[in-house]
Amino acid sequence: MTNGYHAGPRRRPGARYAPARKRAFGLVNWRSLCGTLLKHATLVVISIFTIFPLWWSLVSSLKGMKELYAAAPTLWPQSPSLANYKAMFGEASSQTFSLGQQALNSVMVTGGAVTLTTLVATMAGYGFARIPFRGRDVIFVIFLLSMFVPPLGAMMAQYELMDKLHLRNSLPGLILLLASGVTVPVFIMRQSFLAVPQELDEAARIDGASRWGFFWRIGIPMVTSAMTVVALIQFVYVWGEYVLTYIMEDSPNLYTLAVAVQQTFVPGLTETDQPSFSAYGAYCAIAVLTALPPIVVFIALQKWFVRGLAEGALKF
């Protein structure tokens, strides 16, 4: 395991090496320079390719109708304005949708589903890892097999089920549905509980603690980095979940932001009324708003995520 920088071969005294390369112009190791240049150039090009669409969205959301219709699209707005954003929350939002409500929906659904999944998966992880009970391994294997089902494989039956349970056109129902993908989280939490030394468990029980007490006071604090990994994965999944949300919810007021990005239809206002507003920019504005939380959360939790990976939460 390195620190990320492959320093190359270590020079050992007395070993024989291939002859040193001839240095052109004496002072610079051209071969290594070319290598470094190639690496960085390639990575920079790929980074530009990766960031450009996001940059374009951001820039377009700050542009108005005039700049949009200009002959040459620019990479930076000449007169940046937040008119697109204001309009989306204000008068351009027609009676059929309310972006503020949709943002709130996103927050509620994601918060609820992520909390539920993390809690439930941690409990199950502890149960599968450290509590002996009959059929434990059999149940776990069956649980694992379900990972083979492709995503959205059962969406039709889920639609029918939600309808029969009267959970379909509602937010709590959506929270339950989106929280039900517990297979991978349970797997991860079980792995991390297996890494907790068994002596801790025995010691606590000798002192008279129950399983539940051990779980809350000692177990959970020991696996917080794995829980963060699980929470992060689930957050990213639920925040961006499109298909299930779209089929389950009928009215735009129950949509989440992820669906609103696609389904909002903004009538363009005339140029004389709102020169700084454009439908194109408005779509980009919603996209930027929807894209920000996962990025912010991910960068903030990066440290935990890398630690969780390194600790073997995802060991193969």
Partner 1 sequence: MDGNYRRGGGPQRRAHRAMPQSTGLRHRKWWGDPVGYLFIAPAVLIYLLFNGYPIVRTILMSFQHYVWTDPRHVYFNGLFNYSQMLTDSAFHDALIVSLKVLGITLPVRLILAMICAVFISRVTMRLAAAYRVIVWLPYILPVAVTMRTWSLLYNPMFGYPNYVLSNLGLNAPDWLNDPVAVLPAFDVALVWEGFGFATLIFLIGIYNISPELLEAAAVDGAGAWRQFWSMTLPLLRPMILLVLVVSLMPLLQSTSEALNFVTPGNSTVVSGGPGDASTTLGLYVYNTAFRSPMNLGYASAMNMTLLVVGIVVSLAVFKTMRALES
**DSSP reduced 3-state for 73:** coil
Both structure tokens of 193: 């509980």
Residue closer to partner 1 by CB (options 164, 221) is 164
Number of residues that make up the chain? 316
Q: How far is the CB of 178 from partner 1 (least distance, A)?
A: 9
Q: Min. distance of Cβ 60 from partner 1 in angstroms?
A: 7
Distance CA 188, CA 312 (A): 9
Given a contact cutoff of 8 angstroms between Cβ atoms, the answer to whether 276 and 199 are in contact is no
Question: Closer to partner 1 at the Cβ: 100 or 153?
Answer: 153
Look up residue 52 and give its amino acid.
F
Q: What angle do CA 159, 163, 167 make, to 5 degrees?
A: 105
The minimum distance between CB 124 and partner 1, in angstroms, equals: 4
| Amino acid (one-letter) located at 260 | A
Q: Is the distance from CB of 315 to CB of 103 less than 8 angstroms? A: no
CB of 78 to partner 1, least distance (A): 15
Smaller CB separation from partner 1, 91 or 212: 212
- Cβ atoms of 131 and 223 within 8 Å: the answer is no
CB of 112 to partner 1, least distance (A): 13
Report in angstroms how near the CB of residue 157 gets to partner 1 at its nearest: 4
Residue closer to partner 1 (CB basis): 116 or 194: 116
Which CB sits closer to partner 1, 180 or 253?
180
Nearer to partner 1, 25 or 316 (CB): 316
Virtual torsion, Cα 161, 166, 169, 171, nearest 10 deg:
-100
